[in-house]
Amino acid sequence: MSTEWLRRTHAMTPLTSQEQRVKDMLVEEKLAFEPHHVFDLGALGRHPVDFVVFLGAGVAIECTGAYARRGRALADLRRRSALINYWFGTIKKVFPKVSCAALIEGPSEDQERLAAQLRPILKDADSLTRTIGELREALRDLRGA
């Protein structure tokens, strides 16, 4: 499987509703970005991220959410965060200057508890955001606006 084939395939993949909300925010902020960007990590493989924003050396954004009842959503988000962190760490091994931001929505969870449990898992994330608004602010901080 070539990198180009993977890029074409992911470019045709429709955005999730969460990704569409992120895209709308990126357009509102007038940021250059590419959805479903595929990083070629050499011997470490290839990995598509939900978005790359062209700020500085780049910002890789991964989005996920769990909307189940309290407790169950948090357990699912811990598992997903571990996978996201693995890929962020792998990306940073090859592209150390790329910033990594995670948007992790768990609206049924206590937001402070969510952040407290996910921050230690997301060691390679430069930013952990729980809402589109927090992601917007994190990108503004990176942009210096």
C-alpha angle 82/123/144, rounded to 5°? 120
Task: Say what the pLDDT of residue 59 is.
Answer: 97
Q: Rounded CA gap, 139 and 43, in Å?
A: 30
The continuous run of DSSP H or E covering 82 comes out as helix 72-94
> Phi and psi (nearest 5°) for 22?
-65, -45
What is the distance between the alpha carbons of residues 96 and 32, in angstroms, rounded to a whole number?
A: 21
pLDDT of residue 27: 97
CA angle 123, 27, 46 (to 5 degrees): 45
Q: Are 74 and 117 in contact (CB under 8 A)?
A: yes
Q: Kindly indicate whether the domain formed by 3-143 is annotated with CATH number 3.40.1350.
A: yes
pLDDT by position in tens, the chain (length 145): 566 655 566 566 789 999 999 999 999 999 999 999 999 888 888 888 999 999 999 999 999 999 887 778 999 999 999 999 999 999 999 999 999 999 999 999 999 999 999 999 999 999 999 999 999 999 999 887 5
Residue 116 CA to residue 105 CA, distance in Å, equals: 14
Eight-state DSSP code of residue 144: T
How is the chain split into domains, by residue range? 3-143
- pTM metric for this prediction: 0.89
Residue by residue, DSSP assigns 5-59 as HHHHHHHHSPPPHHHHHHHHHHHHTT--EEEEEEEE-GGG-EEEEEEEE-STT-E
